Amino acid sequence: MEERMAKLEVTIYEMREMIGEVKGIVSELSKRVDDLGDNVSKRVDDLRSDTDHKFSLVLWEVTIWFMILMLVVSIWSYLILNIV
């Protein structure tokens, strides 16, 4: 009986050690997941910022080309109307 109790105590002690190890592993994994989440969030923000910047540049380019086109059409119209 005492031998069984001693084995049970050893088993309980080993289980507590294993639980402590599992808690450590879970804690480490939790930190890694948080780090990955932060990195993904930062990358998404960077991509969003880059996309906004590129869209802004394209918008400016389209606006400039539209203004040039309107200027050419206006000059052409003025010349046609004054010649006729």
pLDDT for 44-56, tens place per residue? 999 999 999 999 9
CA distance 13 to 21: 12
Q: Does the pLDDT value for residue 36 go beyond 70?
A: yes
CA distance 27 to 29: 5
In this structure, the dihedral spanned by the alpha carbons of residues 24, 25, 30 and 34, taken in order and rounded to 10 degrees, is: 100
Q: CB 53: neighbour CB atoms within 10 A?
A: 10
Tell me how far the alpha carbon of residue 78 is from its chain's centroid: 52
Query: Is 0.95 topped by the overall pTM?
Result: no
Taking residues 64-84, what's their average pLDDT? 91
